[in-house]
Amino acid sequence: MNEKIGFKDLGLSPEMLAAISQKGFEEPTPIQIMTIPLMLRDETNIIAQAQTGTGKTAAFGLPLIEMIETRARSVQALILVPTRELAIQVSEEILSLRGKKNITIAPIYGGQSIDQQLRRLKKGVHIIVGTPGRVIDHLHRKTLKLENIEHLILDEADEMLNMGFIEDMEEIMKHTNLDKRTLLFSATIPSRIKDLAKKYMNGYELLKVKKERLITNLTEQIYFEVKASDKFEALCRIIDIEEKFYGLIFCRTKSDVDSVARHLIDRGYDAESIHGDISQSQRERTLDKFKHQRVNILVATDVAARGIDVVNLTHVINYSLPQDPESYVHRIGRTGRAGQEGTAITFITPSEYKRLMFIQRIAKTDIKKSKVPRVQDIIKVKRKKIYDDLNAILLDDLDEKYFSWAEDLLADKNPAQLVAALLNYCFEDELNPDAYGEINEIAVKKQKRELDMQGKARLFVALGKRDKITPHKLIDLIMSEVAIKGKDVRDIQIMENFSFINVPFDKAEQIISSFKKKGRGKRMLITRATEKSGGGNKKKKDRRKKRR
């Protein structure tokens, strides 16, 4: 019988193992088992094919931390990622794994003050986590030198290819030294990625994790957009509308876990909590109660929930939005197991919408918007449950004393009036709609949000009738740069000097990135439509024309 491989078997130092334990990792994932020892040997380049949610960041982050020489203040590693969100998240994840090792990491991406980045770089940084465009900006300014780096990591390489960054990746690789080690992570290995590897990686070892469905078809994924102050009320409604709720609720911080669990208990729910400050013995007792359904609600942080393996959960609820796509996949992968259906629910505030869409895109999944259950619908469900429970009791052999008591009560009472009084006596609090607070629906202004609810993005095109542009020519132009179907370019409006189009959200970033690179140094040909560009504001402009 083969023994399980642990982190201690992968060649990591005692200090690193202590940091891993503190982080809450218990067992390495397959990609970590394959990558960590090979990367620590520092003898070959690596192409690793693995999905989001398989622990990729720790797979390259742990050995990278081990190999960084802290006394040197030069850039020793560059991690290239497709988006600013991922740059921030990878930086934070590596920082959380460094333990007591004094490593400096700087995320550099577009949209952040370049002066702030320059100050960080001047102080000396060991690891850069950057997006292609901003890394190239620094290379052109000569504020970032890559001639002496020891490690180059391309994370989500196929996503960078899809977003039109392949030439940027090549340009960056030209600025690096030949004797560095390169690690390329990708969920898929298309031919362009293979060509890149042949050209810039002098031999490599291919690691391939068996593809698994991390999010099953049995898991329904939905999100509710609510104000932060309405989250708890929304949570109670979700629990109450379910006939049998058995779920994990994830919060970001220990204090949030304590607060949510305490408020649930105060409202009469069977809830427990676990987080990093709870002793191991208390954790084991709590998990035993939850696994045997003596409590049906467990509130936890990501770290504390590691190792929880319950196959019959009905719900996983992200009370707070996960930090990254991997966390999202890990969280919701705990429901929809063993052939049973499950529901994954995520609460977001309006400001978190873009981050949720980023998670959806990277995790390659579909998260649908839904509305918080109405109070009248919850009351209806509760009444049905009471009715079903009473019918079940009627089928049982009731004790004779209840019949004699019933006859006494009915002696001088109207039967319907008596039943109504009993229902009122037993269920007044449970069926009281005033027990629920108000949840105000959030009104989202069209121009404030870049996407509509169907996952479309409105784009501004700096070409119009004067450029002899037609809908057909515009579609051909976009299709020449990005892999998109003509039917996906919708709602085309051709004006005199400019045009507007609607495209699927997941294609919008690719289109903008591709045309940005094509027109480097010139005006942007395609950008997001805004109030300033006139997107969705045609009627106002027409009225102004009439006044003139």
The DSSP code for 169 is H
412 backbone dihedrals φ, ψ, rounded to 5°: -130, 25
Output 24 or 67, whichever has higher pLDDT: 67
Q: Is the predicted pLDDT of residue 218 greater than 80, yes or no?
A: no
Output 310 or 468, whichever has higher pLDDT: 468
* pLDDT at residue 518, rounded to an integer: 64
Query: Residues 13-33: what's their mean pLDDT?
Result: 87
Q: Is the predicted pLDDT of residue 82 greater than 90, yes or no?
A: no
125 backbone dihedrals φ, ψ, rounded to 5°: -135, 140
Q: To the nearest whole percent, how much of the chain has pLDDT over 70? A: 89
| Secondary structure of residue 355 in the 3-state scheme | helix
Give the domains, in start order, of the chain with CATH numbers.
7-208 (3.40.50.300), 219-373 (3.40.50.300), 385-435 (no CATH), 456-547 (3.30.70.330)
Distance CA 314, CA 335 (A): 6
* pLDDT at residue 540, rounded to an integer: 38
Q: Is the predicted pLDDT of residue 523 greater than 90, yes or no?
A: no
- Residue 348: name the closest of 361, 335, 358 by CA: 358
Output 443 or 192, whichever has higher pLDDT: 192
- Through-space distance between the first and last CA atoms of the chain, rounded to whole angstroms: 85
Lowest mean pLDDT among 134-138, 177-181, 201-205, 520-524: 520-524
Query: Residues 527-538: what's their mean pLDDT?
Result: 58
- Residue 461: name the closest of 452, 473, 453 by CA: 473
Query: Residues 453-481: what's their mean pLDDT?
Result: 82
